[in-house]
Amino acid sequence: MDLTEVLRLECCTTNLQSHSKNEILEELAKLVKRNEILKDVPESEILENLHKREDQGSTGFGRGIAIPHCQISGIKDFVVGIGISHKGVDYDAIDHRKVKIFVIIVGPVESRSGHLQLLAMVSRILKEPQIEQHLLQQESKIGLMDEFLRHSPDSLTVSQRGKDKLLILLVRDPDILDEISEIFLEYGVEEATILETGSMKGVLSQVPLFLGFFDFTGDRDASGKLIMVKLPRDYLQALIHGLEDAFGNLDDYTGLGLVVLDIFFSKGI
């Protein structure tokens, strides 16, 4: 089992908000539901199976750590996520400490051995010295995921998780640029190229042949920003989720558009 293939960035967060065990299980079910593998599984089904496992005994095994997990029929692969609650949650842990670190595993019923293997692997990582401190110090989803994987047996392959992609954002509303920057930082993106853009109307209006055909009176300013950032393929879905959490479905939002391109070759970037 390669943990780097099943730990999903869109299922990681450094900002869990729940205060009780029931609330945190609901929040975690919603978190893993973000992955495509669980798109056809109702959130209520995930939550019900998490509760069934907790009824057998708490998955909070001490030191402020819990590994809630369940098996679901009809899915073909595992989904693993990580959540941090800085305030901590009363979770009926065996040492009665509040839980701050949650690693959730959802797997197919048909793969019992794979599920046991993942549980053992995650448990071993979480027993590493000072792992709690290292995870709680992370401020971004990417930082959280990479810090966790750094302690895994597959840590040497983390940098090879997938081909790079080029994410291009067209920001039509200048008022959202700061919020986009904050989302990028939350996901660990610290470098991007930003270009000024203009409309075709603006260009043609300066050409003598087309004078008089374009009247901008009352028109919205068509200028904007073009943001380009190179990302590993595995980060894309999570970052797009983050943008749509902030602005809603981008198909219905006029202030921002995006396109993703394959990078077949790059050098020096």
**In-domain check, residue 145:** yes
Residue 2 confidence (pLDDT):
81
Residue type, position 175, single letter: D
> Mind listing the pLDDT tens digit for each residue in 49-90?
999 999 999 999 889 999 999 999 999 999 999 999 999 999
Joined together, the tokens standing for residue 86 give 């800085």
Q: Given 122, 157, 192, which residue is the final one in a domain? A: 157
Alpha helices (H) in the chain, listed in sequence order: 3-6, 21-32, 43-55, 112-126, 131-136, 141-150, 177-186, 200-204, 233-247
Domain for residue 268, yes or no?
no
Question: What's residue 186's pLDDT?
Answer: 77
Q: Are residues 49 and 121 in the same domain?
A: yes
Assess whether 139 and 95 both reside in one domain.
Answer: yes
**269 in any annotated domain:** no
Domain end residue (candidates: 95, 122, 157)? 157
- DSSP state, 4? H
CA 228, CA 95: separation in Å to the nearest integer? 48
Give 202-229 pLDDT, tens digit per residue: 666 666 665 555 555 545 555 688 999 9
Answer yes or no: do 51 and 86 share one domain: yes
198 with 131, same domain?
no
Q: How many Å apart are CA 239 and CA 144, to the nearest integer?
A: 14
Of 60, 99, 58, 104, nearest to 81 by C-alpha is: 104
CA-closest candidate to residue 237, choices 258, 212, 210: 258
Would you list the DSSP string of 205-251? TTSGGGTTS---TTPPP--EEEEEEEEEHHHHHHHHHHHHHHH--TT
- d(Cα 130, Cα 101) in Å, to the nearest integer? 13
Task: Report the pLDDT value the prediction gives residue 158, as an integer from 0 to 100.
Answer: 41
Residue, of 83 and 1, whose pLDDT is higher:
83
Q: For 193-202, what is each residue's pLDDT tens digit?
A: 899 886 666 6
Name the domain count of the chain: 2
Nearest to 15 by CA among 3, 31, 4: 31
- Tell me, what amino acid is at 196? E
Instruction: For residues 134 and 206, state if they share a domain.
Output: no
Question: What pLDDT was estimated at residue 136?
Answer: 95
Same domain, 144 and 170: no
Tens digit of each residue's pLDDT (9 = 90 or more) over 91-138: 999 999 999 999 999 999 999 999 999 999 999 999 988 899 999 999
What tokens does 38 get?
């669980």
Q: Mapping DSSP to helix (H, G, I), strand (E, B) and coil, where does residue 86 land? A: strand
**pLDDT value, residue 115:** 93
**What residues make up the domain containing 54?**
3-157
Let me know whether 35 and 50 are in one domain: yes
Residue 179 sits in the same domain as residue 123: no
Q: Per the domain annotation, does 267 fall within a domain?
A: no
More confident residue, 201 or 191: 191
Give the angle subtended at the CA of 167 by the CAs of 224 and 234, to the nearest 5°. 150
Name the pTM for this structure: 0.72
Residues 214 and 142 in one domain: no
Residues 170 and 145 in one domain: no
Residues 20 and 142 in one domain: yes
Is residue 131 located within the same domain as residue 199?
no
pLDDT tens per residue across span 134-173: 999 998 898 899 899 988 765 544 444 447 889 999 998 8
Edge-first strand listing for the sheet containing 164-171: 193-197, 224-232, 164-171, 256-262
